[in-house]
Structure 1
Amino acid sequence: MTARHHDEPAPSPLPDLAGRTLGGSVMAASDEFFAEKENLIKPEPPTHRPYTFAHRGQVYDGWETRRRRGPGPDRRPGAGDADWALVRLGVPGVLRTVVVDTAYFTGNFPPACTVQAAAADELATPEQLAAADWAEIVPRCPLTGDARHIFEVSDPHRYTHLRLLIHPDGGVARLRAHGEPVPDPRPLAGLSFDLAALENGGAVAACSDDYFGSPTNLLAPGLPRVMGEGWETRRRRDEGNDYVVVALAAAARLRLAEIDTRHFLGNAPGSAALRAARAPGAAAPPPGAWTELLPRTALLPDTRHRFRLPADAGELTHVRLDVYPDGGVARLRLLGEPTPDGRRGLALRWLNALPPGAFVRTAAAEWGLPAGEAAELAAARPFTRQPDRLPI
């Protein structure tokens, strides 16, 4: 665990899969007497106004439970007592870093926390999740007040829900769950979709500058509410230009690009271009791998631009957005159809990332495999090709 002051830079370039921006939800909590559970996943940093009281006490920008009382003469809570909050990830995926931020909680922070994860139906209710298989991805660890606690996660499996336990009670400002999205390929079968979208498995592979806004914002769902929810670079004073490289969710043939400068008025790029490459498995293709997808084209401020892409561009895995010379872009959409190899890649990634129990349940429900046969398949992972018995 690493502890940092809450106003230090964010610990990970990976998206926050629990965040409200990606559709995360705090489904239930054992208690929220002093401050609401929904504050845990707000996208903005926590704030504080001292001596601001409501009818239940000082107002905190976080989740805060009442003081637990035990049965003994001094009513102290027991060693096993804990409050909990149940979070549905906005985008299921493999978690790499969990952040428990106790910003502004000083005399009322929990002494320790535990984080658990489950792979369940995304529409499961809190009552159904109570019986889920919960894996401990962050064992019980001490916390301090007014600090961002960063926990590295080594579990390689895809999860849909988190449960934050605080021992025995207290307040937490924010919970972040940074990781790599792993979409379920079944709803996408046979469809065209946005190959750049985070929720579908798109990712930022490289970026020249992110001084004012993260390039990950380009791939977020929905429309930005303000300029700060886009990607923005500092002002260039040289002859170069800024760029971002996107690794597509799967190898695909692209049909339509959308470059949205919404909310960027005096700081939109003057023009932009798109280049594409086919480099399976590469973090970012080498300089000579790129071909033109959209020639350098003038952009307007605060405008949604849509461009048909050439039909002969072929199978692509990466797209590079160049902006000239600098500025901000709110969203980048890249619509198309995965190739057969691309669809197989999506399926393999999902199958290999399922926890063993979730794999066995899925194999039984989807393909009618006996539990023993499904367990043998689960143990034989990672697959390098899709088994014939699993027709996704």
Structure 2
Amino acid sequence: IDMASESVGGQILFATDDFFAPAENLIKSDSPRFKEHEYTEFGKWMDGWETRRKRIPGHDWCIIKLGIQGVIRGFDVDISYFTGDYAPRISIQAAHLEGDKDAQMPQRGERMGAAATPQELAAVAELNSNNWDYLVPMTELEPGKPASGHNYFLVNSQQRWTHIRLNIFPDGGIARLRVYGIGQKDWTATDPKEPLDLVAIAFGGACVGFSNAHFGHPNKMIGVGPPKSLADGWETARRLDRPPILENDENGVLLLSGCEWAVFRLAHPGVITQIEIDTKYFKGNSPDSCKLDGCVLTTQEEEDMIRQKWELPGHKWKPLLPVTKLSGSESHTFDSLTLELQDVITHARLTISPDGGVSRLRLRGFPSSICLLRPREKPILRFSVKAGFRSNL
């Protein structure tokens, strides 16, 4: 997951200079573009962050507040199209800031042609970012091809990070910064009476397998906030094995043999009590029907299933939602079949028939403190529920 992307709430808090192009371009969700003959009043139009040629001591840097807080696995420093003006060296620092320590940062507004003001410099000094931990030491960048200038850096850290400082030495341009990792939530601070979205990408949920993602990856279904457009969801290609003439059963569900599916690892093992499937924006291309199943897998079993393309024996899957008719551009909310609060799961599989698009999947329920990452000698795991617990649902 790109934890810094604007699509998940990533935000530029500060930059020393934005003369040719603002730092906000770093966290755009789309790929960088190039317009050969386009210029601004400050110089060549560039799709990235580009500072002026420095003529004073120091170097340029910016601070990004991650939209998803969690464990960072690696970075992609992309200098595509910055062929003669990319930053020759970078380093990356990170911090875990509690609460609203960055709340005093001034709003950035329109930045092109500007440098940091004394007010901004005073505010950012309170963050003490010079002393943040280094995840990438000072390193030279390799230009690569003009349209593909990716520089990848692996990170070996298990800490939870909230902010990133990107340093460029001494100046220049960067097209995109991707901060790849996994969301992480402090589950001890949650209200045990309030159901949570256990598959949310911001908490650590992730798609670990799918049959088709021709128009959109399933991870978009568990994204932050409401869907923004037709592009903000999972959409498959039309199945080529659809029959020439379609028929339905007595319940109005199409009689089809084919389907598409996506498997998700929950952010935390738990019991699913409510299921939301939103097809907003999918008006003429929503699925006819869907179903949801859950199971318990250890880390090793998940790795085995990924290698086997999720050919999981049917007896391991527990039904959470039976085959259910869907409508286009509508939010559907269902009660799970596990209302007795007994079936703890670690993974969920959404199956749609025959194909189509879903904008959001929310699996609300209660995290379980039972350790589930043990060998599967016992097929059923149960836990007791205190008196009065169900009345709080």
Find the aligned partners of 1:328 and 1:122 in 2 and give their Cα distance. 37
Which position in structure 1 is the counterpart of 2:334? 307
Q: Is 1:108 aligned to 2:85, yes or no?
A: yes
1:66 correspondence with 2:52: yes
1:195-219, Cα deviation, whole Å (9 max, x unpaired): 1101122121221122221111011
Verify: 1:22 aligned to 2:11, yes or no: no
Q: Distance in 1 between matches of 2:38 and 2:129?
A: 40
1:86 is the counterpart of 2:63: yes
Counterparts of 2:270 and 2:297 in 1: how far apart (Å)? 12
CA distance 1:132–1:198, shift in 2 (3 Å): farther
Per-residue CA distance 1:201-259 (angstroms, 9 max, x = gap): 21212211222211110110112221111111222224532111111121212111011
Secondary structure, counterpart of 2:231 in structure 1? helix
Q: Which has the higher helix share?
A: 1
Cα separation, 2, equivalents of 1:272 and 1:325: 9
Distance 1:51 1:202 in 2: 43
1:226 to 208, 224, 229: 229
Alpha-carbon distance change, 131 to 98 in structure 1, aligned in 2, over 3 angstroms:
closer
Matched, 1:199 2:202: yes
Question: Is the Cα contact below 8 Å between 2:92 and 2:134 reproduced in 1?
Answer: yes
Aligned to 2:121: none
Distance in 1 (alpha carbons) for counterparts of 2:180 and 2:129: 25
Does residue 253 of structure 1 match 2:271? yes
SS at match of 1:84: strand
1:87 & 1:128 partners in 2: Cα distance? Answer: 15
Query: 1:5-48: CA deviations, max 9, x gaps?
Result: xxxxxxxxxx1011112111111011111111111111122222
Amino acid at match of 1:234: A
Q: CA offsets per residue over residues 305-325 of structure 1, 9 Å max, x none?
A: 111112136222221100112
Mapped partners of 2:366, 2:100: distance in 1 = 27
Normalising by structure 1, we get a TM-score of 0.77
Offset at residue 169 of structure 1 (A): 0.5
Aligned equivalent of 2:366, options 337, 342, 347: 337
- 1:46 partner letter: P
SS in 1 for 2:370: helix
- 1:95 maps onto 2:122 in alignment: no
Counterpart residue identity of residue 260, structure 2: D
SS at match of 1:38: helix
Tell me if the contact between 2:129 and 2:165 (Cα under 8 Å) persists in the aligned partners: no
Q: Which moved more, 1:250-259 or 1:231-240?
A: 231-240
Aligned to 1:121: 98
Q: Distance in 1 between matches of 2:34 and 2:280?
A: 30
1:9 alignment counterpart:
none
C-alpha displacement of 1:267: 1.9
Q: Which residue type is aligned with residue 178 of structure 2?
A: R
Percent of aligned pairs with the same residue?
A: 38
Structure 2 counterpart of 1:368:
none
| TM-score normalised to structure 2 length | 0.77
| Alignment match, 1:291 | 318
Could you list the structure 1 runs, at least 4 aligned residues long, displaced by more than 3 angstroms after superposition: none
Q: Residues of 1 paired with 2:46 and 2:129: CA distance?
A: 32
**3-state DSSP class of the match of 1:21?**
helix
Conserved 8 A contact 1:115-1:138 = yes
Q: Secondary structure at the match of 2:202?
A: helix
> Counterparts in 2 of 1:1-392, with a 5 A limit?
15-70=1-56, 81-125=58-102, 126-130=124-128, 133-145=131-143, 146=146, 147-190=149-192, 191-238=194-241, 239-281=257-299, 282-283=301-302, 286-287=312-313, 288-310=315-337, 311-312=339-340, 314-341=343-370
**What residue number does 1:360 align with?**
none
Mean alpha-carbon deviation: is it higher for 212-221 or for 177-186?
177-186
Look up the equivalent residue of 1:47 and give its one-letter code: R
CA distance in structure 1 between the aligned counterparts of 2:227 and 2:29, rounded to whole angstroms? 12
Deviates further, 267-276 or 44-53: 44-53
Q: Displacement of 1:88 after TM fit?
A: 1.1
Whole-Å Cα distance in 2 between the matches of residues 173 and 224 of structure 1? 26
Q: Distance in 1 between the 2:186 and 2:33 partners? A: 36
Q: Secondary structure at the match of 2:80?
A: coil
- Which whole-Å deviations, capped at 9, do the CAs of 1:142-182 have from their partners, x for residues lacking one? 22444122222222322111111111111111111011111
Distance 2:319 2:188 in 1: 32
Give the Cα separation in 2 of the matches to 1:184 and 1:87. 21
Shift of 1:103: 2.0
Q: CA deviation at 1:186?
A: 4.3
Higher relative CO (Cα under 8 Å, sequence separation at least 6) belongs to: 2
Consecutive unaligned residues of structure 2, counting only runs of 5 or more, are 103-123, 242-256, 374-393
Q: Give the letter for the 2:335 counterpart.
A: R
Which deviates more from structure 2 when the two are superposed, residues 273-282 or residues 88-97? 273-282
Distance apart, 1:90 and its partner CA: 1.0
Contact kept, 8 Å, 1:27 with 1:88, in 2: the verdict is yes
Could you tell me how far apart the structure 2 residues matched to 1:244 and 1:119 are? Answer: 33
CA RMSD of aligned residues (A): 2.1
Q: How many residues align?
A: 321
